């Protein structure tokens, strides 16, 4: 198991019928929960991976997490601007992957499991 140096908290919201998770810490990512079924999981993941960054829970195959935006959210939060350079781009990508992986665990624990 890989541990993270940052433990993220997420704000759960609905927008235009979509479930969003907003990280409350750097990199302030907005992530969308994409529902699927165990039967369609692999094809859903393949389609989503063609379009961008995707995360999923280790055992739950009923949802995926996609990255919508991070940082200043297209200028809405200028104090959260993230400057991406050749020197730091891999660290930023790793931070995004970590945030998304935590979001998948958070959503499974706080939403999916609470419905059971």
Residue 5 lies in a domain: no
Domain that holds residue 70: 10-115
User: CA-to-CA distance for 26 and 1, rounded, in angstroms?
Assistant: 22
Residue 2 lies in a domain: no
Q: Report the percentage of the chain scoring pLDDT > 70.
A: 97
Residue 41 lies in a domain: yes
Residue 64 lies in a domain: yes
pLDDT tens figures, 11-37:
999 999 999 999 999 999 999 999 999
Residue 24 lies in a domain: yes
Residue 46 lies in a domain: yes
Report which of 59, 62, 61, 64 is spatially closest to residue 49, judged by C-alpha positions.
64
pTM score = 0.89
For residue 25, CA distances in Å to 17, 39, 43, 71 come to 25, 34, 31, 10
Residue 72 lies in a domain: yes
Report which of 58, 59, 74, 63 is spatially closest to residue 18, judged by C-alpha positions.
63
The total number of structural domains in the chain stands at 1
Residue 1 lies in a domain: no
pLDDT tens figures, 90-116:
999 999 999 999 999 999 999 999 887
User: CA-to-CA distance for 82 and 77, rounded, in angstroms?
Assistant: 11
């Amino acid at each position: 198991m890989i541990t993270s140096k940052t433990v993220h908290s997420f704000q759960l919201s609905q927008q235009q019928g979509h479930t969003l998770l907003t990280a409350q810490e750097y990199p302030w990512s907005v992530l969308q929960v994409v529902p699927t079924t165990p039967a369609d999981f692999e094809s859903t993941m393949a389609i989503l991976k063609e379009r961008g960054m995707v995360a999923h829970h280790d055992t739950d195959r009923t949802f995926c997490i996609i990255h919508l935006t991070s940082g200043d959210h297209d200028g809405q939060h200028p104090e959260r601007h993230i400057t991406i350079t050749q020197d730091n781009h891999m660290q930023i990508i790793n931070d995004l992957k970590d945030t998304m992986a935590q979001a998948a665990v958070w959503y499974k624990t706080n939403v999916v499991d609470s419905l059971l």
